[in-house]
Amino acid sequence: MINDRNDKRYPLVTKHVYRVSDLVLYDRFARALEDGIARYPVFRELRFAARIEQEVLLDAIALDSAWRAERLSIDSAILDAEGMFATVYGSRKADYCSFRVYIWAADVAHAEETKERILAKAGSTRITEAMFSIDWHFSAGKEIGGLAGKGRQVRLGKPARQALVFQGANDDVDVHA
């Protein structure tokens, strides 16, 4: 492949992505590094829950004039503005919805402004009392009867009176426990 900016040859690099947002983001990262600039040196993660229909709140977030938005599905969106890129993921529960927002920004001010604007959309429907979540990550196991996994995993097969056992990143999860 030829780099059209200065005709230098460089090896072809491939990256498998599963989301359009990742494709856009990784392309921007690569171009920024090639150009010698820092495009998004600030990263923030925002998690919140609200007692409102997921679609209604995600519509309100996407329609904010502070950014350009693309709805990728019923439960996700990309937000793009000068100095900021964000992905929004929502999930519906029985009586509320929860959101996870990943924000990349040119500076702290852009990141904080994005968080504030998104939380303002939730307004009084936002759940402020303490909640917890279990973040599951699975991958195909090498053995039958077990799941090899990475990430934060919880073994729930023991009686409730026992404490939850958190698996390490390289530990196997015993599905028969």
- Domain contains 37: yes
Confidence at residue 121, expressed as pLDDT on a 0 to 100 scale: 96
For residue 75, give the CATH number of its domain. Answer: 3.30.310.80
- Is the predicted pLDDT of residue 14 greater than 70, yes or no? yes
Identify whether the C-beta of residue 13 lies closer than 8 Å to the C-beta of residue 72: no
Domain that holds residue 177: 134-177
Same domain, 112 and 166: no
Q: How confident is the model at residue 20 (pLDDT cuts 50, 70, 90)?
A: confident
Same domain, 64 and 112: yes
User: Does residue 88 or residue 7 have the better pLDDT?
Assistant: 88
Same domain, 117 and 42: yes
CA atoms within 13 A on the CB side of 44: 19
Helices (H) then strands (E): counts for the chain: 3, 10
pLDDT, one tens digit per residue, over 61-74 is 999 999 999 998 99
- Domain contains 58: yes
pLDDT, one tens digit per residue, over 127-153 is 988 776 666 666 655 544 544 444 444
- Is the predicted pLDDT of residue 22 greater than 70, yes or no? yes
Same domain, 152 and 87: no
Same domain, 61 and 100: yes
Same domain, 35 and 98: yes
Residues 55, 60, 63, 67: is their CA dihedral positive or negative? negative
Number of structural domains the chain divides into: 2
